[in-house]
């Protein structure tokens, strides 16, 4: 079955760190660019970060640049998001999402995980 499964969310204090993981199955993970998209409670979707299939190219929203790091381990079919210096405004459900096409990425998403909730609060 083609799926993405996020993990690693939880409650963290402001200024703390958290690492999210996204385990992929059912497709050739290394062939696809991947992204993280978040959704604050009751709010809309916000793209956070993206990475090419090889991991050689990464992209970040200004709101997380310098604090978050996206990476992937293609041998483990897993995407990561290292989140440091967390703020209350980072509280959201974090989704990992797969690019639509193999090879050259198009940066829209045809497969999403169920999300993992990150709560930043003291």
DSSP 40-77: -TTS-EEEEEEE-SSS--EEE-TTTTTTEEEEEETTTT
Nearer to another protein by Cβ, of 91 and 111: the residue is 111
Binds another protein (CB under 8 A): choice among 61, 77, 91, 119: 61
Is 68 a residue that touches another protein (CB under 8 A)? Answer: no
Binds another protein (CB under 8 A): choice among 22, 50, 79, 83: 50
Q: Identify the bridge partners of residue 117 per DSSP, sorted by sequence position.
A: 93
Binds another protein (CB under 8 A): choice among 20, 22, 109, 116: 109
Structure letter (DSSP) for residue 17: -
Binding part of the chain for another protein, among 10-18, 19-27, 38-46, 70-78 by CB under 8 A, reads 38-46
Output b/e per residue, 59-76; b: 16+ Cβ within 10 A.
ebeeebeeebbbebeeee
Binds another protein (CB under 8 A): choice among 53, 92, 95, 116: 95
């Amino acid at each position: 079955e083609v799926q993405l499964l996020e993990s690693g969310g939880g409650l963290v204090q402001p200024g703390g760190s958290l690492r999210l993981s996204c385990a992929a199955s059912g497709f050739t993970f290394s062939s696809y660019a991947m992204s993280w998209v978040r959704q604050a409670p009751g709010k809309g979707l916000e793209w956070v970060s993206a990475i090419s299939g090889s991991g050689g190219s990464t992209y970040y929203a200004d709101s997380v640049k310098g604090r978050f790091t996206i990476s992937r381990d293609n041998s483990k079919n897993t995407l990561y998001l290292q989140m440091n210096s967390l703020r209350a405004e980072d509280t959201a459900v974090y989704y990992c999402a797969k690019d639509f096409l193999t090879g050259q990425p198009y940066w829209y998403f045809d497969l999403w995980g169920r999300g993992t909730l990150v709560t930043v609060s003291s």
